[in-house]
Structure 1
Amino acid sequence: MDEVHTFNANTVLNVRYGFNRFIRGSDAPEGQYGIDLTTLGFPSSFNNSVNEGIRRFPRFDFNCTSCTGATVGNGHTNEFRPVGSHFATAVLNRTFGLHSWRFGGEMRIYREDDSFKSNQQSGQFIFDNTYTRVGSASSADVEGLQAFAAFLLGYPTTMQIVRASDYSEYSKTWGFFAQDDWRISSKLTLNLGLRWEFEQALTERQNKSISGFDLAYTQPFQTQAQTNYGLIPANDVLRTTYGLSNITTKGGLMFAGVDTGSGVYNTPKNGFLPRLGFAYQFNAKTVFRGGFGLYQGFLGERRGDVIQPGYTQTTVQALTSGPNGAPLPTLISDPFVSGITEPSGNTLGRQTALGQGISFFNQDPKVAKQARWTFGVQRELWGGWFAEAMYLGDYGYDLEITRNINALPNQFLSLDTLRTTAMGTNNSQLTATVRNPFCTTVTVVNGGNTCTSTLYTGAGPTISRRTLLTPFPEFGAINTSNNDGKSWYNSVQFTLDKRFSKGYGLQLAYTYSKWLQATEYLNAADPSPTKMISDQDVPNRFSASYFYELPFGKGQRFGSQMNKWADAIVGGWQIQGTYTYQSGFPVSFANDAFYLGGNIALPKSERSVSKWFNTSAFVNILGATPTCPAFPNGSANCATPVDHLRTLPLRFSDVRIDAINNMDVGLRKDVHLREQMKLQFRVEFVNALNHPLFPGPVVNPSSATFGQVTASNQNNYARRAQLLMKFIF
């Protein structure tokens, strides 16, 4: 809805309201909704344990040795996910003397609901040849027939059922602004503006979400865990080499509406966003323009952000074998006889998800901001030509970065610049397991160790040394975000424009820029992100677009007197096209490697798809010409870094993927049928010169194709011709 009210000649109010809603969803065939599981042979007790609203045909998986296997029952996670938003704005325009004022405000409400209805919520039953093979335990089920035989017998190897949670989340934003376009004189105009924005925290309506992580909390079993740690031998490298005299069990998840407010994070304190611009007419053909402004993004617009450990639960029941190898009595005809574990929700409090990888919200987030400034000059030349030169600068700060706060500290990483014996030993020691302090009683069952008394559910009899050396050993990876990211962008832009006259138009544009960013960590435990060239940096971009009317036909230079039939064939043709050259993006070296020195970039004359950069600058392990330093153990150095403190940058400004070099050409003709009707014919050639755009090279130094472009497809289309006809009336 849009309402415009004119109070008088100088004052106008514009009020708008809008609502948008769309539904993303997928589900099993409608005939499966609310299926009676007893019709498939399941007992009524199992049928009643699954809510009718989520009941679907169960999932059956048949695994085999050298085939793809089969699944009966939709294996996807079905969902019903309506997403909606409201917005209301009001803007008052007022002209008074040399001032043109604008005042306004806006409010937006974002909401998303999601409910899951997967087949696994009615049970998933996995069959293989565990109970149907003959002889050797390695007997192959090539065709999957033994798995099907297990199905006929009702002997699944594993059964599981999922209890999934839904969610309903929303967030609200408000913004208010005031702007004054002040025409100080006939030559100078100032644009003065101020904007204020406020954003409510993302909220789950029923508080079914994690909010934060209590760093100061001590798990109640710390004393027992430290006592158990004392059972690890005193000469273990945990103590002698890594200096870990004992462990601590700090930290625990917090829940929205219980441990914190109803929002999943604290409402960010948004500041004011000033804007300033000017335009100065130096003379009749020259104008200077410039400005400065602060801009910011939003936090709550990211849908699906709630984090719900504890609200989804999978119950797994594996069949066990008796003395003769046959499965014990629990069969598919009466599944989950031990019961189905319901989600704990927030009842476990800070003991939720122990032993697992978790995520939580930064409780005091900042909104990413950009400070942007520009200065430029526009000049009218001769014959309809116009030129513009502009400088643009941009500084981004408080940018969000995801990081793992439970990474192995850098002090335990190797500083060696080659794959030494010491580096390999360090890796082996970190990977090796020791007695698990979170397991109080270890019992031998069927010849293997089993933890029969644990400090948290799922703890095993052993644990890796690496895990015990992390800050929170009772958890896996702990992912969250901070606002330590920054970016720097500077560019100069030139435009030359020939406005359409005398049958042609032309526009040329060139941009030279540099984009740096500090939004990534070289090592997971680094204290701050590393400043480096951005993965989106494009130092050079040139583009040209043109439009030319061929001088043939009625009213044109050639054939101006031809009849309408000849003109319909010869006249009215136009050529148009674009050309773009753009530097390639920097190659990202995702894998750590040993750098030996020298230039990594190759001269353009030496670069090819078989050698995109100088692989000899690295310890190349499996390439055509391996470079394996002889110190200290010869070929033993032909290995990648492990548990190594990375210093190799992720990107280099002079090592880039292929540049865009593209020309599109088109030919167009309009045939006027009558006053308001015409046919338009177009012939277009996309990538007319058929220049391939190669994808990036292989950057894994342990690959035999290190430094080569091996992808089978180019990153652009090969030359394409398109013929189009359009009727316009």
Structure 2
Amino acid sequence: MNLTESQGLRQNPADDPIFRGNDRRVLYTLSAQNTHIFSPTILNTAMFGVSHARGQNSNLPLEPFPSNLLMMTGEGRNAPGAFVFGGASTTNTPTSIVPPNGQNLHFNQRRNYSWSDDLRITRGSHSLSMGAWFMRVRQTAFSSAQNNAGTASYTGLLEFLQDQPVQFLAAVNPQPLTFTSLEAAVYFQDEIKLRRNLTVRLGLRDEMTNGWNEVNNRASNYLFDANGILQTNPTIGRSPFVKNYAKALLQPRVGVAWDPTGNATWSVRAAFGIHNDLQDNLAHRLNANQPFNARLLITGRPMLSIIPLAGSTAPPPTCSADSPLREPACAIYTVGGLDPNMHTPTIQQWTLEIERAITSDLAVQVGYVGHQSYHLSTSVDNNTIRPEVCQNPAGCLSGGVRPARFRVTVPQGTEYIPAPVVGTATRPNPFVGTTNTWMYMGTASYHAANISLTKRSRNGLSYKTNYTFGKIMDISSAILGPSADNDTATLRNPYNPKLSRGIGSYSLKHQFNANFSYQLPFGNGRAIGGAATGFVDKLIGGWQWNGIFNAQSGFPMTPVVGLNQTGNGDTRIPDVPILNPAFKGDVILGVDGFKKTGRYFDPNAFLLPATGTFGNVSRGMFTGPGFWNLDMSLFKRIPLKERLNLQFRAEAFNILNHANFNSPIAGNVVFDTSDPSKYAGSAGTITETAPVHGERQIQFALRLEF
């Protein structure tokens, strides 16, 4: 039995020196295990565990702000809110003043109870495994989105100075919600030794859950009407889902191990399996919906007529066609939520490995790994304007929600976002604001070939090298934030998900790794100084040289426009530019080009799409800077007594002090958001080195071994 407790408080300075981040963590775990041997061929292992975690993250000012500078007051708030230029919120680092993090003054809590029992039986050529697993999850989530300080969004600096925000987003009267889930699984596996050199493994696992349920029947989720349009008011009940599709998730597994020669110099292994990812961490997708938690969206009104807004204000009713007024007599809410017909994410995986022993201490292995995933979560705005194809020979007015001065006429046959006709709505449901819904319609594939060479220790030398050539394709690589800092976390067009299909933002085409350890041949009984004794032997003997080398290609990178050029209303601005057909030269200038010109890519290779139209740059079309690094160490073992040794360690990380650069993060925005006719001054710029390999570091240590 094991019981642990940990509590911590970490205070970090925020990016803005006016604020300080407070991160509180409390964790309790209890675990117990019982292993019983019934006979030499029957073994049972039972385990039980409880974990309870509480966390709070807040971003508070070092000095209190005067109340007249706050967008929202009450409920412990003391941050002025945020002003964002170029979109309501974005994962592409918009220009902003005052961090929009908000203040989460409540604890998030999660408690898990788990139990499992595994029985193993050996009968002749069969090795049987069977068991069951059960877990109860209870989660109370209260996110910073529920207690933020207000966020005002502007098209550009001019609109800010004229007090003409695109929208103001605020969370009013937030209430914690508590969700539970019961999960279970049973499995059976038979490992059969058909021949001395052939083993087959067959198994079946069945996973299940009762869904994701709010204990007080306050799960608030938005459904679609018969026309596929998001409903104005949420459906409230115990579960956010129309149906539980995870009552029986069958997962077959099969594996084969074969030694073709029977003398242990060859090995062929192949396997296939289906795996599911039970969804039990979803409270943060539902804890910001009205009426229990409302993210109030106010559009088209000067900020000075809105603020200060009391945080305890009861949320007004939703607007409708019969509403006498819009805000504040009624409200247009921004929506979070989950796919009401969610299916559990599923992955099919298959592998093939062939290993050959070249010598008694040297082996080579080649392999292939394939994955196909479906029902993956994607982040979608379900209330964006549906694109159309222009049918008018004279052209169509395009631009969506973009200001009238940016609208253009596109030719017949163009897919475009229509500009609203006077008196008509700009969104499919004008009484709902922007949405951030996880729709489980994502797919992904991964294929990789690898080769490795492994040498076991002989004459003091051991090493291992491996190389992988792989590729990931998906329609979305992130749902909460940018993956690898190089892609947006939302689909370009929710009505055509395939438009977002491209190289996954964490895909690495090439990866090479090598490590070695060498016992230097000095000292008594070694090749050099083999007759040394006493002090001389202690001085020259016991040295070990180690090294690790890593190299990989860069992460895929996608330049973006930097604003909602399509005008479809997606405030997370995933829009991309179009390739300039007249451009000649290299689009990617590389790290050397960046050192000379200040740009990693040439923005002249891209053009701004016509307002209301989509760009043609595919996801992951370009590649960011590659990485390589070399670490080395030198150890010296000094015997003190029979069972007591002292080890001296000299370690150098990034010994060559090679600078590895990150992808252009803010620099992936191509156009000036205040004047899109110009390229952004930061386009293509790299602002930081890669966090994984910093500057050279050398450290010395002593280690006592006994």
Same fold (TM over 0.5): yes
Q: CA deviation at 1:699?
A: 2.9
Q: CA deviation at 1:572?
A: 0.8
Contact 1:600 1:615 in 2 (8 A): no
The residue identity in structure 2 corresponding to 1:555 is: G
Q: CA deviation at 1:704?
A: 4.3
Aligned counterparts of 1:385 and 1:309: Cα–Cα separation in 2: 64
Instruction: Determine the structure 1 residue equivalent to 2:684.
Output: 708
Instruction: Determine the structure 2 residue equivalent to 1:95.
Output: 122
Contact 2:257 2:267 in 1 (8 A): yes
After superposition, the C-alpha distances for 1:468-526 in whole angstroms (9 at most, x for unaligned) are 13211111123323332111211111111110111110111111112212336333442
The residue identity in structure 2 corresponding to 1:86 is: Y
Q: CA deviation at 1:706?
A: 6.1
Closer, same or farther: CA 410–62 of 1 in aligned 2, 3 Å: closer
Pair 1:277-2:247 in alignment: no
Aligned counterparts of 1:302 and 1:116: Cα–Cα separation in 2: 12
Contact 2:589 2:600 in 1 (8 A): no
Q: Which runs of 5+ in 2 are unaligned?
A: 1-31, 61-72, 83-95, 151-160, 162-169, 298-303, 324-328, 406-419, 477-489, 562-575, 672-678
User: Which SS does the other structure have where 1:381 is aligned?
Assistant: strand
After superposition, the C-alpha distances for 1:131-184 in whole angstroms (9 at most, x for unaligned) are xxxxxxx9xxxxxxxxxxxxxxxxxxxxx9953312222212111111000000
Q: CA deviation at 1:277?
A: 0.5
User: Which SS does the other structure have where 1:567 is aligned?
Assistant: helix
Q: CA deviation at 1:293?
A: 0.8
Pair 1:166-2:176 in alignment: yes
Instruction: Determine the structure 2 residue equivalent to 1:645.
Output: 614
User: Which SS does the other structure have where 1:213 is aligned?
Assistant: coil
Matches within 5 A, 1:51-66: 59=78
User: Which SS does the other structure have where 2:260 is aligned?
Assistant: strand
Question: Which has the greater radius of gyration?
Answer: 1
What is the alpha-carbon root mean square deviation over aligned residues? 4.5
Matches within 5 A, 1:112-511: 112-114=139-141, 163-216=173-226, 251-257=231-237, 261-262=238-239, 264=241, 266-269=243-246, 270-283=248-261, 284=263, 285-307=265-287, 308-312=289-293, 341-342=313-314, 354-411=331-388, 426-427=398-399, 431-432=403-404, 468-511=425-468
Q: CA deviation at 1:612?
A: 3.1
Closer, same or farther: CA 120–712 of 1 in aligned 2, 3 Å: closer
The residue identity in structure 2 corresponding to 1:2 is: Q
Aligned counterparts of 2:330 and 2:540: Cα–Cα separation in 1: 76
Q: CA deviation at 1:569?
A: 2.6
Instruction: Determine the structure 1 residue equivalent to 2:600.
Output: 612
Contact 1:365 1:482 in 2 (8 A): yes
The residue identity in structure 2 corresponding to 1:398 is: H
Instruction: Determine the structure 1 residue equivalent to 2:23.
Output: none
The residue identity in structure 2 corresponding to 1:272 is: L
Q: CA deviation at 1:580?
A: 1.1
Aligned counterparts of 2:145 and 2:382: Cα–Cα separation in 1: 33
Aligned counterparts of 1:578 and 1:487: Cα–Cα separation in 2: 32
Matches within 5 A, 1:100-111: 100-111=127-138
Closer, same or farther: CA 293–120 of 1 in aligned 2, 3 Å: closer
User: Which SS does the other structure have where 2:656 is aligned?
Assistant: coil
Equivalent residues, number: 564
Pair 1:16-2:26 in alignment: no
Closer, same or farther: CA 209–162 of 1 in aligned 2, 3 Å: same
Aligned counterparts of 1:119 and 1:393: Cα–Cα separation in 2: 41
Q: CA deviation at 1:386?
A: 0.7
User: Which SS does the other structure have where 1:701 is aligned?
Assistant: coil
Pair 1:677-2:644 in alignment: yes
Aligned counterparts of 2:81 and 2:197: Cα–Cα separation in 1: 79
Matches within 5 A, 1:658-677: 658-677=625-644
Contact 1:414 1:644 in 2 (8 A): no
After superposition, the C-alpha distances for 1:561-584 in whole angstroms (9 at most, x for unaligned) are 333333333211101011111111
Aligned-pair identity in percent equals 20
User: Which SS does the other structure have where 1:679 is aligned?
Assistant: strand
After superposition, the C-alpha distances for 1:655-684 in whole angstroms (9 at most, x for unaligned) are 211111111111111222223332222111
Closer, same or farther: CA 114–544 of 1 in aligned 2, 3 Å: closer
The residue identity in structure 1 corresponding to 2:557 is: V
After superposition, the C-alpha distances for 1:202-234 in whole angstroms (9 at most, x for unaligned) are 11111233133242499xxxxxxxxxxxxxxxx
Q: Select the structure that is richer in strand.
A: 2
Aligned counterparts of 1:676 and 1:250: Cα–Cα separation in 2: 72
Closer, same or farther: CA 508–466 of 1 in aligned 2, 3 Å: farther
Q: CA deviation at 1:527?
A: 5.5
Aligned counterparts of 2:350 and 2:234: Cα–Cα separation in 1: 42
Closer, same or farther: CA 315–491 of 1 in aligned 2, 3 Å: closer
Contact 1:59 1:120 in 2 (8 A): no
Q: CA deviation at 1:375?
A: 1.3
User: Which SS does the other structure have where 1:79 is aligned?
Assistant: coil
Contact 1:680 1:726 in 2 (8 A): yes
Q: CA deviation at 1:557?
A: 2.0
The residue identity in structure 2 corresponding to 1:79 is: H
Aligned counterparts of 1:75 and 1:315: Cα–Cα separation in 2: 15
Aligned counterparts of 2:536 and 2:316: Cα–Cα separation in 1: 82
Q: CA deviation at 1:536?
A: 1.7
After superposition, the C-alpha distances for 1:228-284 in whole angstroms (9 at most, x for unaligned) are xxxxxxxxxxxxxxxxxxxxx972333332xxx445553223431111100111111
The residue identity in structure 1 corresponding to 2:335 is: I
Aligned counterparts of 1:175 and 1:62: Cα–Cα separation in 2: 46
The residue identity in structure 1 corresponding to 2:541 is: G
Q: CA deviation at 1:354?
A: 4.7
- TM-score normalised by length of structure 2: 0.70
Contact 1:522 1:650 in 2 (8 A): no
- TM-score normalised by length of structure 1: 0.68
Closer, same or farther: CA 723–265 of 1 in aligned 2, 3 Å: farther
The residue identity in structure 1 corresponding to 2:191 is: D
Contact 1:78 1:116 in 2 (8 A): no
Pair 1:513-2:470 in alignment: yes
Aligned counterparts of 1:113 and 1:119: Cα–Cα separation in 2: 13
Aligned counterparts of 1:408 and 1:175: Cα–Cα separation in 2: 42
The residue identity in structure 1 corresponding to 2:122 is: T
After superposition, the C-alpha distances for 1:524-543 in whole angstroms (9 at most, x for unaligned) are 44254533222122111111
Aligned counterparts of 2:294 and 2:550: Cα–Cα separation in 1: 53
Contact 1:188 1:281 in 2 (8 A): yes
Contact 2:172 2:314 in 1 (8 A): no
Contact 2:557 2:620 in 1 (8 A): yes
Q: CA deviation at 1:294?
A: 0.7
Closer, same or farther: CA 672–265 of 1 in aligned 2, 3 Å: farther
Q: CA deviation at 1:428?
A: 8.6
User: Which SS does the other structure have where 1:407 is aligned?
Assistant: coil
Aligned counterparts of 2:193 and 2:589: Cα–Cα separation in 1: 54
Aligned counterparts of 2:475 and 2:143: Cα–Cα separation in 1: 38
The residue identity in structure 1 corresponding to 2:653 is: V
Closer, same or farther: CA 506–542 of 1 in aligned 2, 3 Å: same
Closer, same or farther: CA 191–60 of 1 in aligned 2, 3 Å: closer
